[in-house]
Each structure stands twice: as structure tokens, then as C-alpha cells.
Amino acid sequence: MIGLLHPGEALTMDQVAERLPQLTWNQLFQAVDTLSRQGAIALHQRGRQYEISLSRPVAQ
């Protein structure tokens, strides 16, 4: 998932799900939760959507 994100850009959960069709929604939510708790990504609510963005550089 980190590889989909670029500095200064955000993707909605739906956009991430479309780009990672091999993941179930449960797997996607778990990955977002883990990465958010690690501080690798930021999650922001925009209306009814949630956007995911990089919160700091991540070594790959």
C-alpha cells in the first residue's frame, strides 16, 4: 500500500481498494490501521470518505 502513495497526494479508501483488488476490505482496514499506528500514513475524513496519505518518509 505504501508504494501507491506519493508525498503531497492522498488517495481515498476506495481508490486504494481499486488499486489493490487482491486485498479484502478486512485486509485493507487492517493494513491502514497498522500503518497509521506506526505513523507511516495519515488518515483524514473528508465528508463521508477517508483519505490516506504519507505522514513521513518510509524506508522501503
- Using the predicted structure, report yes or no on whether residue 56 has a pLDDT greater than 80: no
Strand ranges inside 1-60, DSSP E: 10-12, 41-46, 49-54
- Residue 48: the pLDDT is 92
* DSSP 8-state symbol, 41: E
Q: Name the pTM for this structure.
A: 0.79
**Fold topology of 2-54:** Arc Repressor Mutant, subunit A (1.10.10)
- Residue 1: the pLDDT is 77
- Residue 60: the pLDDT is 56
Under 8 Å CB-to-CB from 28, ≥6 apart: which residues? 1, 13, 16, 17, 20
- Residue 4: the pLDDT is 86
- Using the predicted structure, report yes or no on whether residue 32 has a pLDDT greater than 80: yes
Would you kindly state where each structural domain of the chain is located, as residue ranges?
A: 2-54
What is the longest distance spanned by two Cα atoms in the chain? Answer: 32
> How is residue 19 written as a grid cell?
488499486
- Residue 22: the pLDDT is 96
